[in-house]
Structure 1
Protein backbone atom coordinates (compact mmCIF):
# COMPACT_ATOMS: atom_id res chain seq x y z
CA UNK A 1 0.00 0.00 0.00
CA UNK A 2 1.27 3.49 -0.89
CA UNK A 3 0.88 6.56 1.25
CA UNK A 4 -0.14 9.50 -0.91
CA UNK A 5 -0.69 12.77 0.89
CA UNK A 6 -3.62 14.09 -1.08
CA UNK A 7 -3.91 17.22 1.04
CA UNK A 8 -0.41 18.36 0.15
CA UNK A 9 -0.98 17.53 -3.51
CA UNK A 10 -4.21 19.53 -3.51
CA UNK A 11 -2.60 22.51 -1.81
CA UNK A 12 -0.06 22.71 -4.61
CA UNK A 13 -2.57 22.07 -7.38
CA UNK A 14 -4.72 24.84 -5.93
CA UNK A 15 -1.97 27.30 -6.96
CA UNK A 16 -2.09 26.32 -10.64
CA UNK A 17 -5.07 28.42 -11.76
CA UNK A 18 -3.38 31.59 -10.52
CA UNK A 19 -0.07 30.60 -12.10
CA UNK A 20 -1.84 29.79 -15.37
CA UNK A 21 -3.47 33.23 -15.22
CA UNK A 22 -0.03 34.82 -14.90
CA UNK A 23 1.44 32.68 -17.67
CA UNK A 24 -1.41 33.60 -20.00
CA UNK A 25 -0.91 37.25 -19.19
CA UNK A 26 -1.91 39.70 -21.86
CA UNK A 27 -2.49 43.40 -22.01
CA UNK A 28 -5.93 42.72 -20.57
CA UNK A 29 -4.50 40.87 -17.57
CA UNK A 30 -1.93 43.56 -16.98
CA UNK A 31 -4.64 46.20 -16.95
CA UNK A 32 -7.20 44.20 -14.97
CA UNK A 33 -4.91 42.48 -12.51
CA UNK A 34 -1.57 44.23 -12.50
CA UNK A 35 -1.37 43.66 -8.75
CA UNK A 36 -1.17 39.90 -9.35
CA UNK A 37 1.67 40.30 -11.83
CA UNK A 38 3.47 42.71 -9.56
CA UNK A 39 3.18 40.27 -6.66
CA UNK A 40 4.65 37.42 -8.68
CA UNK A 41 7.40 39.67 -10.01
CA UNK A 42 8.21 40.85 -6.47
CA UNK A 43 8.30 37.31 -5.12
CA UNK A 44 10.55 36.16 -7.96
CA UNK A 45 12.83 39.16 -7.45
CA UNK A 46 13.08 38.39 -3.73
CA UNK A 47 13.79 34.75 -4.53
CA UNK A 48 16.54 35.68 -6.98
CA UNK A 49 18.02 38.17 -4.54
CA UNK A 50 18.28 35.68 -1.72
CA UNK A 51 19.67 33.00 -4.04
CA UNK A 52 22.34 35.44 -5.20
CA UNK A 53 23.26 36.36 -1.61
CA UNK A 54 23.54 32.72 -0.54
CA UNK A 55 25.35 31.66 -3.72
CA UNK A 56 27.90 34.43 -3.26
CA UNK A 57 28.26 33.51 0.40
CA UNK A 58 28.82 29.88 -0.54
CA UNK A 59 31.51 30.87 -3.04
CA UNK A 60 33.25 32.92 -0.35
CA UNK A 61 32.99 30.10 2.17
CA UNK A 62 34.34 27.54 -0.28
CA UNK A 63 37.02 29.80 -1.72
CA UNK A 64 38.39 31.01 1.60
CA UNK A 65 37.92 27.64 3.28
CA UNK A 66 35.74 29.12 5.99
CA UNK A 67 33.76 26.82 8.26
CA UNK A 68 31.04 24.79 6.55
CA UNK A 69 27.58 26.30 6.54
CA UNK A 70 24.73 24.21 7.85
CA UNK A 71 21.89 26.37 6.50
CA UNK A 72 21.11 29.44 4.46
CA UNK A 73 21.06 31.53 7.62
CA UNK A 74 24.42 30.07 8.60
CA UNK A 75 25.88 31.32 5.32
CA UNK A 76 24.91 34.83 6.38
CA UNK A 77 26.25 34.24 9.91
CA UNK A 78 29.61 33.09 8.53
CA UNK A 79 29.85 36.23 6.41
CA UNK A 80 29.29 38.25 9.59
CA UNK A 81 31.89 36.21 11.51
CA UNK A 82 34.41 36.69 8.71
CA UNK A 83 33.62 40.42 8.55
CA UNK A 84 32.32 40.34 4.99
CA UNK A 85 29.15 42.08 6.23
CA UNK A 86 28.46 44.18 9.31
CA UNK A 87 25.73 43.55 11.87
CA UNK A 88 23.20 45.92 10.31
CA UNK A 89 23.53 44.32 6.88
CA UNK A 90 23.56 40.87 8.46
CA UNK A 91 20.16 41.51 10.09
CA UNK A 92 18.58 42.52 6.79
CA UNK A 93 20.13 39.59 4.90
CA UNK A 94 18.91 37.15 7.56
CA UNK A 95 15.36 38.47 7.05
CA UNK A 96 15.79 38.01 3.32
CA UNK A 97 17.03 34.41 3.46
CA UNK A 98 14.26 33.48 5.89
CA UNK A 99 11.89 34.09 3.00
CA UNK A 100 13.44 31.26 0.97
CA UNK A 101 11.40 28.42 2.40
CA UNK A 102 8.08 30.27 2.06
CA UNK A 103 8.93 31.43 -1.48
CA UNK A 104 10.33 28.13 -2.74
CA UNK A 105 8.65 25.38 -0.74
CA UNK A 106 5.54 26.86 0.86
CA UNK A 107 4.47 29.13 -2.01
CA UNK A 108 0.91 27.81 -1.73
CA UNK A 109 0.66 29.08 1.83
CA UNK A 110 2.91 32.14 1.83
CA UNK A 111 2.11 35.15 3.96
CA UNK A 112 2.41 37.69 1.20
CA UNK A 113 2.22 40.59 3.62
CA UNK A 114 5.63 39.54 5.02
CA UNK A 115 7.27 39.78 1.61
CA UNK A 116 5.52 43.10 0.95
CA UNK A 117 6.56 44.49 4.32
CA UNK A 118 10.14 43.47 3.69
CA UNK A 119 10.26 45.48 0.47
CA UNK A 120 8.68 48.61 1.94
CA UNK A 121 11.21 51.30 2.59
CA UNK A 122 13.53 49.80 -0.04
CA UNK A 123 15.72 48.19 2.63
CA UNK A 124 16.55 45.32 0.31
CA UNK A 125 17.60 47.42 -2.66
CA UNK A 126 19.97 49.36 -0.44
CA UNK A 127 21.07 46.20 1.37
CA UNK A 128 21.78 44.36 -1.88
CA UNK A 129 23.80 47.30 -3.16
CA UNK A 130 25.68 47.41 0.15
CA UNK A 131 26.17 43.63 0.05
CA UNK A 132 27.76 43.80 -3.41
CA UNK A 133 30.03 46.63 -2.29
CA UNK A 134 31.05 44.80 0.90
CA UNK A 135 31.83 41.58 -0.97
CA UNK A 136 33.92 43.46 -3.52
CA UNK A 137 35.75 45.32 -0.75
CA UNK A 138 36.40 42.03 1.06
CA UNK A 139 37.78 40.45 -2.10
CA UNK A 140 39.98 43.50 -2.75
CA UNK A 141 41.22 43.39 0.84
CA UNK A 142 42.11 39.72 0.39
CA UNK A 143 43.90 40.45 -2.88
CA UNK A 144 41.50 38.52 -5.07
CA UNK A 145 41.35 39.89 -8.59
CA UNK A 146 39.05 39.15 -11.48
Structure 2
Protein backbone atom coordinates (compact mmCIF):
# COMPACT_ATOMS: atom_id res chain seq x y z
CA UNK A 1 0.00 0.00 0.00
CA UNK A 2 1.14 3.49 -0.79
CA UNK A 3 1.37 6.42 1.58
CA UNK A 4 0.37 9.45 -0.43
CA UNK A 5 0.32 12.72 1.47
CA UNK A 6 -3.13 13.70 0.26
CA UNK A 7 -3.36 16.56 2.75
CA UNK A 8 -0.31 18.36 1.38
CA UNK A 9 -1.35 17.70 -2.21
CA UNK A 10 -4.81 19.13 -1.45
CA UNK A 11 -3.36 22.25 0.18
CA UNK A 12 -1.37 22.97 -2.96
CA UNK A 13 -4.19 22.13 -5.36
CA UNK A 14 -6.49 24.40 -3.35
CA UNK A 15 -4.18 27.34 -4.13
CA UNK A 16 -4.79 26.96 -7.87
CA UNK A 17 -8.10 28.86 -8.10
CA UNK A 18 -6.53 31.89 -6.42
CA UNK A 19 -3.53 31.77 -8.75
CA UNK A 20 -5.81 31.43 -11.77
CA UNK A 21 -7.89 34.38 -10.58
CA UNK A 22 -4.79 36.53 -10.16
CA UNK A 23 -3.48 35.63 -13.61
CA UNK A 24 -6.86 36.32 -15.20
CA UNK A 25 -7.00 39.72 -13.49
CA UNK A 26 -3.49 40.58 -14.62
CA UNK A 27 -4.15 39.49 -18.20
CA UNK A 28 -7.46 41.34 -18.48
CA UNK A 29 -6.07 44.67 -17.27
CA UNK A 30 -2.42 44.54 -18.32
CA UNK A 31 -0.70 47.93 -18.25
CA UNK A 32 2.83 46.65 -17.86
CA UNK A 33 3.64 48.71 -14.77
CA UNK A 34 6.14 47.58 -12.17
CA UNK A 35 3.59 46.30 -9.68
CA UNK A 36 1.82 44.20 -12.29
CA UNK A 37 5.14 42.91 -13.57
CA UNK A 38 6.19 41.80 -10.10
CA UNK A 39 2.76 40.27 -9.45
CA UNK A 40 3.01 38.34 -12.71
CA UNK A 41 6.44 37.02 -11.78
CA UNK A 42 5.17 35.85 -8.40
CA UNK A 43 2.08 34.19 -9.89
CA UNK A 44 4.20 32.32 -12.45
CA UNK A 45 6.68 31.31 -9.76
CA UNK A 46 3.90 30.02 -7.49
CA UNK A 47 2.41 28.08 -10.41
CA UNK A 48 5.77 26.40 -10.98
CA UNK A 49 6.20 25.56 -7.30
CA UNK A 50 2.64 24.24 -7.04
CA UNK A 51 3.03 21.91 -10.02
CA UNK A 52 6.44 20.63 -8.94
CA UNK A 53 5.46 20.23 -5.28
CA UNK A 54 2.40 18.18 -6.22
CA UNK A 55 4.50 16.18 -8.65
CA UNK A 56 7.07 15.46 -5.96
CA UNK A 57 4.37 14.28 -3.55
CA UNK A 58 2.99 11.97 -6.25
CA UNK A 59 6.45 10.61 -7.06
CA UNK A 60 7.18 9.95 -3.37
CA UNK A 61 3.75 8.56 -2.56
CA UNK A 62 3.47 6.20 -5.50
CA UNK A 63 7.15 5.28 -5.42
CA UNK A 64 7.85 6.45 -8.96
CA UNK A 65 11.43 6.80 -10.18
CA UNK A 66 13.46 9.62 -8.64
CA UNK A 67 13.45 12.96 -10.42
CA UNK A 68 16.69 14.72 -11.27
CA UNK A 69 15.22 18.10 -12.28
CA UNK A 70 12.03 20.12 -12.39
CA UNK A 71 11.46 19.02 -15.97
CA UNK A 72 11.98 15.42 -14.87
CA UNK A 73 9.23 15.74 -12.25
CA UNK A 74 6.80 16.74 -15.01
CA UNK A 75 7.98 13.93 -17.28
CA UNK A 76 7.76 11.22 -14.62
CA UNK A 77 4.29 12.21 -13.45
CA UNK A 78 3.05 12.60 -17.02
CA UNK A 79 4.55 9.24 -17.93
CA UNK A 80 2.48 7.66 -15.16
CA UNK A 81 -0.66 8.97 -16.85
CA UNK A 82 -1.55 11.63 -14.31
CA UNK A 83 -2.22 14.18 -17.08
CA UNK A 84 -2.36 14.34 -20.86
CA UNK A 85 0.67 14.69 -23.15
CA UNK A 86 -0.61 18.12 -24.19
CA UNK A 87 -0.74 19.31 -20.58
CA UNK A 88 2.65 17.74 -19.94
CA UNK A 89 4.15 19.84 -22.74
CA UNK A 90 2.70 23.05 -21.27
CA UNK A 91 3.90 22.17 -17.75
CA UNK A 92 7.39 21.37 -19.06
CA UNK A 93 7.59 24.80 -20.67
CA UNK A 94 6.29 26.35 -17.46
CA UNK A 95 8.96 24.81 -15.24
CA UNK A 96 11.65 25.96 -17.66
CA UNK A 97 10.75 29.49 -16.52
CA UNK A 98 11.97 28.76 -13.00
CA UNK A 99 15.60 29.64 -13.67
CA UNK A 100 14.82 32.96 -15.38
CA UNK A 101 12.32 33.86 -12.64
CA UNK A 102 14.41 32.82 -9.64
CA UNK A 103 18.03 33.19 -10.73
CA UNK A 104 17.99 35.62 -13.66
CA UNK A 105 15.19 37.84 -12.30
CA UNK A 106 17.17 40.98 -13.09
CA UNK A 107 16.73 40.22 -16.82
CA UNK A 108 13.02 39.32 -16.65
CA UNK A 109 10.97 41.57 -18.97
CA UNK A 110 8.60 42.88 -16.30
CA UNK A 111 6.68 45.23 -18.58
CA UNK A 112 5.62 42.43 -20.93
CA UNK A 113 2.61 40.20 -20.45
CA UNK A 114 3.92 36.65 -20.58
CA UNK A 115 1.76 34.34 -22.74
CA UNK A 116 1.51 31.86 -19.84
CA UNK A 117 -0.29 34.47 -17.75
CA UNK A 118 -3.14 34.20 -20.25
CA UNK A 119 -2.89 30.43 -20.87
CA UNK A 120 -2.18 29.05 -17.39
CA UNK A 121 -5.46 29.60 -15.56
CA UNK A 122 -7.18 26.94 -17.69
CA UNK A 123 -4.11 24.68 -17.71
CA UNK A 124 -3.70 24.84 -13.93
CA UNK A 125 -7.36 23.95 -13.51
CA UNK A 126 -6.86 20.99 -15.87
CA UNK A 127 -3.79 19.97 -13.85
CA UNK A 128 -5.80 20.09 -10.62
CA UNK A 129 -8.62 18.04 -12.12
CA UNK A 130 -6.18 15.49 -13.55
CA UNK A 131 -4.37 15.01 -10.24
CA UNK A 132 -7.63 14.65 -8.32
CA UNK A 133 -8.92 12.13 -10.86
CA UNK A 134 -5.65 10.15 -10.66
CA UNK A 135 -5.75 10.05 -6.87
CA UNK A 136 -9.35 8.81 -6.85
CA UNK A 137 -8.51 6.14 -9.39
CA UNK A 138 -5.29 4.92 -7.78
CA UNK A 139 -6.44 5.14 -4.18
CA UNK A 140 -9.99 3.92 -4.87
CA UNK A 141 -11.51 6.96 -3.19
TM-score, structure 1 as length reference: 0.70
Distance change in 2, residues 1:113/1:141 (3 Å): farther
Question: Which string of whole-angstrom CA distances, capped at 9 and with x for unpartnered residues, describes residues 19-50 of structure 1?
Answer: xxxxxxxxxxxxxx971100100100000010
In the alignment of these two chains, the number of paired residues is 111
- 1:118 corresponds to: 116
Which among 121, 131, 137 is matched to residue 135 of structure 1? 131
RMSD of aligned residue pairs (Cα, Å): 2.0
Tell me the distance in 2 between the aligned counterparts of 1:100 and 1:79.
18
Question: RCO (CA 8 Å, sep 6+): is it higher in 1 or 2?
Answer: 2
Kept in 2: contact 1:69–1:75 (CA 8 A): yes
Structure 1: stretches of 5+ with no match in the other structure: 1-32
Residue 142 of structure 1: SS of its match in structure 2?
helix
* Larger Rg computed on CA atoms: 1
Structure 1 residue 79, shift from structure 2 partner: 1.2
TM-score, structure 2 as length reference: 0.73
Distance change in 2, residues 1:102/1:137 (3 Å): same
Tell me the distance in 2 between the aligned counterparts of 1:36 and 1:132.
30
Kept in 1: contact 2:83–2:127 (CA 8 A): yes
Residue 81 of structure 2: SS of its match in structure 1?
coil
Tell me the distance in 2 between the aligned counterparts of 1:114 and 1:54.
25
Runs of 4+ residues over 3 Å off in structure 1: 111-115
Describe how 1:56-67 pairs up with structure 2 within 5 A. 56-67=54-65
Residue 49 of structure 2: SS of its match in structure 1?
helix
Tell me the distance in 1 between the aligned counterparts of 2:60 and 2:92.
20
Kept in 1: contact 2:33–2:111 (CA 8 A): no
